[in-house]
Structure formats: C-alpha cells, structure tokens
C-alpha cells in the first residue's frame, strides 16, 4: 500500500487551486491563505474573485488553467451538474489535451454518490504530467462539509471524506486548515453518501423541533421556556441548542437575522432530492424523508428559497417570534 507524506504544507500540495467562491468556498479559500498555501482561484462570477485578486491571489479564466497551476485542486460547487461541467466540460479540469498536473482533486460539493464515484474512476484513469512522492496516478476525494457558513469562516468545518485512504491521509492537514474534523468514510462516493444522510437527519430534526416549539406556543408555553426544557432533557439536539429556529430565542443564528446568512432552504431541498433519489436507487422508502422533501419544496415554491432552512418554523408551522 502506498503511503504519502501528510506533513503540513508538504511540497506536493503547496500550490492549491480553488474553484467555486460562493458563501462557503470563499471562506474556505481564505483559511487556506491564512495557513500559508499558495492559492489560485476561479469562479464564473468575476465579482467574487476580486476579493482574492485584490490581495495578490491569481485568478484563472478556466478550470483547466487552474489545474495547470496547481498540485491539488479543491472544488466547492452548487450541484452535480456544476461539478460535471467543471471536471468534464470544455476547458475542464480533465481536459484531454494534456496529462494532469494536480496529483489530487478534492470535491467538497454536496452531490449524489453516483456522480462522485463516476468522477473518481475517471480521474484515476488519467495520467500525471509528473510523478512524484510515490503518486503513480491522480486520485480524487469526495469531501463534502458540515457546519455551514459560520463554521466555514471560523475554520471549524467537518469534512466527510470518501476515496483512497492513503490520499485521505495525505490530504488531512490540508483539510484541517479549513476545518476541525476530517472523517474517513470509506471508498469513493462514501463522503457524498455521508453528507446526504447527515442533511437528511438535520432536516428532520429541524422540522421536529419547529413543530414542537410551535405546538408549545399554541398551548401557552414560551419558546424560550420550552427550549430550556429541551436542552436539559431528552429532546436536546443541534436544532434546539445551537441553531434554534425561533426568532428572539438565540443570538447569532439565522432566526435572529430574519433567517438570512445561513443554509438556504433551496439547498436543503436540493439535498433532500438527492437523498430521495439515492433511496430509490437502493429500493428503500422513508416516509420522514419524503415528508421533509415535500415541506421544503413548498417553502421554496412560496418564495422563501433563499431564507435559512430554519424558516420552516415561521412559514410552515406559523410559529411566533419570541419577544423578551
């Protein structure tokens, strides 16, 4: 079994390409800069690349050009279609005009496991421009994240990683420059599968907490009081103690900012669609998943797609703000 160096700022990963500078990607890339990596960036929105070019970070016009300047490339994109386009489209990372310079490609997007596995096999079939540090062929990791925008900014994300364990060990210090945890999940696609399962549980949890808090309000119990009970009792969970959906109960969360600046409902709807598709592929039916999918589709249809997913408390359950 091959073993690769995993020391921080290893020469094999000194030059990092980053593609996708949205709410999450821009913050992840900034943390790589703080850690001392040499960065090259790309995004179709030139306005978001300016914050990097303004501090001396080179920007490239195509993914292929990013690959030509990088030892490792990280992608953080909205959907499977965007990932396929960046990898396989015209001037993509896997442009067949030349062998690959990057030894490792890391996709932190939330996409379906099948796409992750397809791309991993395609990457492994490519040839390297230069072999070094025992890397015989390029490899890919699917490494989606949990934690949201606040954790991306603070560098406290959790990475769920699928692919070669050797590649995971080699990339671990790079990932920990952007997060506090990097958990190996097994073979290609397993990181993507873990993220879908995590977000399914998160969606159902948020719905359950929102439903209970709304019921409590209707029965005459304030959300603050019920939250204290939850958080010192068996109902305690992330949705109650760290991301409470009731405006006025907790500071520093989207519900305290009119549901702005968090994890958009349209992204939760997308992730639930991925979960439903994956369940169908393996022939399983999950009623809570299906109900969550319907609720978030309704939230988006009603015009709340860019609001944080905790807005279900207000827009689906008609919950009331807490006034202290």
User: In whole angstroms, what is the distance from residue 127 CA to residue 40 CA?
Assistant: 22
User: In whole angstroms, what is the distance from residue 222 CA to residue 103 CA?
Assistant: 55
Q: Which one of the listed residues 195, 228, 266, 320 is annotated catalytic?
A: 195
User: In whole angstroms, what is the distance from residue 299 CA to residue 127 CA?
Assistant: 46
CB neighbour list of residue 43: distance below 8 Å, 6 or more residues apart: 19, 20, 21, 22, 25, 49
CB neighbour list of residue 196: distance below 8 Å, 6 or more residues apart: 110, 112, 113, 271, 274, 275, 278
Among candidate residues 238, 237, 239, 240, the one with its CA nearest the CA of residue 226: 240
Among candidate residues 140, 28, 162, the one with its CA nearest the CA of residue 83: 140
Whether 195 is catalytic: yes
- Partnered with residue 43 across adjacent β-strands are none
Q: Are 145 and 122 within 8 A, CB to CB?
A: no
Give helix then strand counts, H and E, for the chain.
Answer: 13, 8
| Helix or strand holding residue 319 (H, E) | none
214 to each of 191, 252, 294, 319, how far by Cα in Å?
A: 34, 21, 19, 5
| Helix or strand holding residue 247 (H, E) | none
Among candidate residues 170, 44, 150, 20, the one with its CA nearest the CA of residue 104: 170
Neighbours of 119 (CB within 10 A): 26
- Beta-strand (E) ranges in the chain? 15-19, 38-42, 72-75, 104-107, 139-142, 145-146, 157-162, 179-186
Q: Which residues are catalytic?
A: 195
């Amino acid at each position: 079994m091959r073993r690769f160096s995993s020391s921080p700022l290893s020469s094999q990963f000194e030059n990092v390409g980053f593609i996708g500078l949205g709410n999450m990607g821009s913050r992840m890339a900034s943390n790589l800069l703080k850690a001392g990596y040499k960065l090259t960036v790309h995004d179709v929105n030139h306005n978001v690349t300016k914050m990097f070019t303004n501090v001396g970070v080179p920007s490239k016009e195509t993914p292929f050009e990013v690959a030509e300047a990088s030892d490792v490339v990280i992608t953080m994109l909205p959907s499977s279609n965007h990932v396929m386009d960046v990898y396989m489209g015209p001037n993509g990372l896997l442009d067949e005009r030349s062998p690959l310079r990057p030894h490792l490609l890391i996709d932190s997007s939330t996409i379906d496991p099948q796409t992750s596995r397809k791309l991993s096999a395609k990457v492994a079939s490519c040839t390297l421009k230069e072999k070094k540090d025992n890397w015989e062929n390029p490899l890919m990791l699917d490494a989606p994240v949990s934690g949201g925008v606040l954790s991306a900014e603070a560098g406290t994300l959790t990475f769920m990683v699928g692919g070669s364990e050797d590649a995971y060990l080699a990339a671990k210090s790079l990932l920990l420059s952007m997060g506090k945890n990097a958990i190996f999940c097994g073979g290609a696609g397993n990181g993507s599968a873990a993220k879908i399962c995590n977000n399914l549980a998160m969606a159902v949890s948020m719905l359950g907490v929102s439903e209970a808090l709304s019921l409590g309000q209707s029965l005459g119990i304030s959300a603050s009081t019920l939250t204290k009970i939850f958080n010192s009792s068996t109902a305690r969970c992330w949705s109650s103690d760290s991301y409470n959906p009731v405006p006025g109960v907790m500071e520093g969360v989207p519900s305290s900012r009119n549901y702005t600046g968090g994890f958009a409902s349209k992204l939760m709807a997308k992730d639930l669609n991925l979960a439903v598709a994956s369940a169908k592929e393996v022939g399983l039916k999950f009623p809570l998943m299906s109900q969550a999918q319907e609720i978030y589709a309704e939230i988006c249809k009603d015009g709340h797609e860019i609001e944080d997913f905790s807005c279900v408390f207000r827009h689906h359950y008609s919950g009331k703000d807490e006034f202290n």
